[in-house]
Amino acid sequence: MNKDLKGMEKMVKPALEKFMLESGFVKKEELQKALDRIESLEKKISNL
């Protein structure tokens, strides 16, 4: 049973991740990097 679940996960996970990327979903880590970058750029602009 456990082996079957692992096999299903290996098949479904890549398809789910592809669907989420194509649908516009973003991983929390990627969003946080972008937000940090925006904040950094805003600080640089305000210092000009």
pLDDT at residue 1 greater than cutoff 80: no
Please state the three-class secondary structure of the chain as a single string: CHHHHHHHHHHHHHHHHHHHHHHCCCCHHHHHHHHHHHHHHHHHHHCC
Assign 46 a pLDDT band (cuts: 50, 70, 90).
very high
What pLDDT shows up at residue 20? 86
Structural domain span for residue 16: 2-46
Q: For the whole model, what pTM was predicted? A: 0.53
Which phi and psi (to 5°) does residue 9 adopt?
-60, -40
Q: How many domains does the chain have?
A: 1
